[in-house]
Chains A and B, each alone.
Chain A
Amino acid sequence: QQPVQSPQAVILREGEDAVINCSSSKALYSVHWYRQKHGEAPVFLMILLKGGEQKGHEKISASFNEKKQQSSLYLTASQLSYSGTYFCGLLAGKLIFGQGTTLQVKP
């Protein structure tokens, strides 16, 4: 039931783009995205709801494909501050988080 994230890790240069995928074996109703920097608490990025409602954050956007049971997080023109571990969370009575994708942005 835990969502599967891919890739597990990404290394980028500043200004490059990245995509993080989150797949579920069950139907999606809402997907939450959080970012956690090393040694810090997770911080909310956005929620995607069935029906298309979306919230954005900085230059980070996301898509929600109900048919594919998948959500993707898009980070454009990445900045050093984007480094951290990104978690998707699927709502199934409670929020179930994926294993995380570690993003490292280098100068």
Chain B
Amino acid sequence: EAGVAQSPRYKIIEKRQSVAFWCNPISGHATLYWYQQILGQGPKLLIQFQNNGVVDDSQLPKDRFSAERLKGVDSTLKIQPAKLEDSAVYLCASSLFPGRGNTNEQFFGPGTRLTVL
């Protein structure tokens, strides 16, 4: 079974530039998550989708971050404009059951390491 795919794996940009990350979840997984992991910390949920609807985006900095999951499969996360403090690993995860999917294990992708200079 193929795992969660993410691209790119690494990205270096200047502050105030824009960047986009792509995620393809495990086939059949209705719930998709984007996490931000700053060095030395645990992952922090930015946004959770169930199919193509948003379940939780309370910690997403909406003035600069946006995410979409068209057709309930692939998802993109965008940052515009980037700040120095956005330097982190952005992890995408998916889980099998919709709705209260947090009771089930989440499968993480390899992440995108973003460096903002």
Q: Knowing A93-B56, A94-B48, A97-B44, say if A44 contacts B102 (CB, 8 Å).
A: no
CB–CB A41/B109 < 8 A: yes
Q: How many residues of B contact A (CB 8 A)?
A: 20
Q: Give the shortest distance, in Å, between A31 (CB) and chain B (any CB).
A: 11
Q: Is B108 an interface residue (CB 8 A)?
A: yes
| CB of A80 closer than 8 Å to a CB of B | no
Per-position binary interface string of chain B over residues 40-52, scored 1 when its CB falls under 8 Å from any chain A CB and 0 otherwise: 1111110010000
Q: What is the interface size of chain A, counting residues whose CB is below 8 A from a CB of the partner?
A: 21
A49 to B102, CA, bound (A): 12
Tell me whether B110 and A41 are in contact (CB under 8 A): yes
Q: Which residues of the other chain, A, contact B106 by a CB distance below 8 angstroms?
A: 32, 44, 95
Contacts of A2 in B (CB 8 A): 42
Q: Interface readout for A71-107 with B: 1 if CB under 8 Å, 0 if not?
A: 0000000000000000101010111111110000000
Knowing A41-B108, A41-B111, A94-B56 are in contact, say whether A49-B103 is a contact too (CB < 8 A).
Answer: yes
Q: Tell me whether A30 is interfacial, beta carbon within 8 Å.
A: yes
For the complex with contacts A42-B91, A43-B108, 16 further pairs of A-B residues with Cβ separation under 8 Å are A2-B42, A30-B103, A41-B111, A44-B107, A47-B105, A49-B103, A87-B42, A91-B102, A93-B56, A94-B45, A94-B48, A94-B56, A95-B45, A97-B42, A99-B40, A100-B40
* Bound Cα distance A51, B78 (Å): 40
Nearest-CB residue, chain B, relative to A43: B108
In the bound assembly, the distance between CA atoms of A32 and B33 in angstroms comes to 16
Query: Which residues on the B side are within 8 Å of A95 (C-beta)?
Result: 45, 102, 106
Q: How far is the CB of B94 from chain A (nearest CB, A)?
A: 12
Task: Closest B residue to A47 by CB, please name it.
Answer: B105
